[in-house]
Amino acid sequence: MSGLALLIFFAAYGIAAQDIQLDFWAAEETFNARTFPTFIAVGGAGFSLLLLLTGDSRSLPGLGELDLGPLLALVLLLVSFTFLIEYLGFVLAGIGLLAIAPVLLGEKHWQLIITVSIGVVAGLYLLLSALDVYLDPGLLGWLL
């Protein structure tokens, strides 16, 4: 049942991703605003089909059995990230997001948290810079 629900969600997400408006110059580009949402929709639909085909029989826990505290903290963190990226820029806000999220989920190894958060953000920054995607440095970046 969960595989079917996920398949419907990712199909709807993929259809909605095709409605993203593109400017004249980006319409013929290989990498544009629709690329990542389309990859997410196709990948999610593929995993949903895999879940449907394998017939995973494990039952899902009831809502009363779930610990919603970390989930709510992560949602609050993501919402704050969307506001902080304007002021701190992609690099600082991204490192902060990727450093705080594992702590909220119970990770205790600080060296691993710092290495992964800096490495992932640096890798994404280099990849997006190589693809000529502009990343706003934020108000803090403009002041430095």
pLDDT tens sequence across 38-73: 899 999 999 888 888 887 556 555 656 667 788 899
Q: In this predicted structure, what is the pLDDT of residue 81?
A: 92
Are the beta carbons of 13 and 44 closer than 8 angstroms? yes
Considering the chain, what percentage of its residues have pLDDT values greater than 70?
Answer: 90
Structure tokens at 84: 């902080």
Coil, helix or strand at residue 57 = coil
| Residue whose tokens read 């953000």 | 121
Cα of 103 vs its chain's centroid, Å = 17
The pTM (predicted TM-score) of the whole model is: 0.60
Per the CB < 8 A criterion, the answer to whether 40 and 57 are in contact is no
Greater confidence, 113 or 129? Answer: 113
